[in-house]
A and B are shown apart, each in its own frame.
Chain A
Amino acid sequence: EDQVTQSPEALRLQEGESSSLNCSYTVSGLRGLFWYRQDPGKGPEFLFTLYSAGEEKEKERLKATLTKKESFLHITAPKPEDSATYLCAVHPSGSARQLTFGSGTQLTVLP
């Protein structure tokens, strides 16, 4: 069974304090791994898609990396506006199912 586990569940950082969020996954084959940002009461906002181990993508203060077992979302010098829940999802290959989501990491950046 496909599984996605995100850690930590919650993370509080001071403004400027860099850190990483983890997404561990178990799938029979990976068609793609996705990172989304979700603000309270809103739908998820697409951030990145990663397709193969070793791939990296960057957007402003965020950088996503992928290995064969996990993905990291690195946040460099975060600002309060980066506070949100970050969701990881996988699209297994050879399956009719679509995205399987992790439970998310709730990030709070304090000024």
Chain B
Amino acid sequence: GAVVSQHPSWVICKSGTSVKIECRSLDFQATTMFWYRQFPKQSLMLMATSNEGSKATYEQGVEKDKFLINHASLTLSTLTVTSAHPEDSSFYICSARVGGPSYNEQFFGPGTRLTVL
């Protein structure tokens, strides 16, 4: 149980285009999902917390208008990188929390490698 999927697993796009990444919880409902970014040989940096049916909460320094997050259902959250530039190239990972606010365990998706040319 507690399987999280991401699509696509990798994407290459031209500078200036927008890219959408999907995160799905396959066998449970996730009221809260999280989006992380990871640069090579570095740890995960939380970008935003996505709550079903409400606006996402962004971490300090993360541009809301550039990284659009939508959590339209209990099993799907999407991250759209708008007007992507080469510096947005990174490994994007989502996670979903099992259970309510009193539960801590997060299960991660396999990640999406974004390369912006």
Interface residues of A (CB under 8 A from B): 31-32, 34, 36, 41-46, 49, 87, 91, 96-99, 101-104
In B1-45, the 8 Å CB interface with A consists of 2, 4, 6, 34, 42-45
Report the Cα distance A97→B113, complex, angstroms: 25
Chain B residues, CB < 8 A from A104: 43
Q: How large is the interface on B (under 10, 10 to 19, 20 to 34, 35 or more residues)?
A: 20 to 34
Q: Is the CB of B104 within 8 A of A101?
A: no
Report the Cα distance A46→B57, complex, angstroms: 24
Chain B residues, CB < 8 A from A99: 34, 46, 106
Chain B residues, CB < 8 A from A42: 110-111
Chain B residues, CB < 8 A from A41: 91, 111, 113
Report the Cα distance A29→B105, complex, angstroms: 17
Chain A residues, CB < 8 A from B108: 36, 43-46
Interface residues of B (CB under 8 A from A): 2, 4, 6, 34, 42-46, 49, 57, 91, 93, 95, 104-111, 113
Contact among A45, A46, A102, A103 with B105 in the assembled complex (CB-CB below 8 Å): A46
Chain A residues, CB < 8 A from B91: 41
Other A-B pairs, 18, CB within 8 Å; known A43-B111, A46-B105, A98-B46 = A32-B104, A32-B105, A36-B108, A41-B111, A43-B4, A44-B44, A44-B93, A46-B2, A49-B104, A87-B43, A97-B46, A98-B34, A101-B43, A101-B44, A101-B45, A102-B43, A103-B42, A104-B43
Report the Cα distance A42→B101, complex, angstroms: 26
Q: Is the CB of B111 within 8 A of A91?
A: no
Q: Is the CB of B111 within 8 A of A98?
A: no
